[in-house]
Amino acid sequence: MNKQDLIGSVAEASGLSKADAGKAVESVFDSISATLKKGDEVRLVGFGTFSVSKRKASTGRNPRTGEAMTIKASNQPKFKAGKGLKDSVN
């Protein structure tokens, strides 16, 4: 399922037009992104938790040259599935 399929599914399930469903889906994504950007987490009970993990700087190797290089520290988004989502898949 891609984003357009998700929007179509939301529109069909909720009775909204595709344009309104698209705005709703976009606003959910924007809200999650903004919350993660602040460093907070988003808990959706029964679905899962979106959070940010801080990755330390490390040393790696350039695969082409074998030369050592430093990899900058960064923030990585994470998602941990909740019990309801796990149960619905199994």
pLDDT of residue 20: 95
Structure letter (DSSP) for residue 64: T
pTM: 0.78
Two tokens, residue 14:
């909720």
What would the pLDDT profile of 5-57 be if each residue is shown by its tens digit? 999 999 999 999 999 999 999 999 999 999 999 999 999 999 999 999 999 99
Whether 43 and 64 have beta carbons less than 8 Å apart is answered as no
Three-state DSSP class for residue 40: coil
- Domain ranges (residues) in the chain: 1-39
Whether 76 and 37 have beta carbons less than 8 Å apart is answered as no
Instruction: Give the integer Cα–Cα distance in Å for 6 and 22.
Output: 9
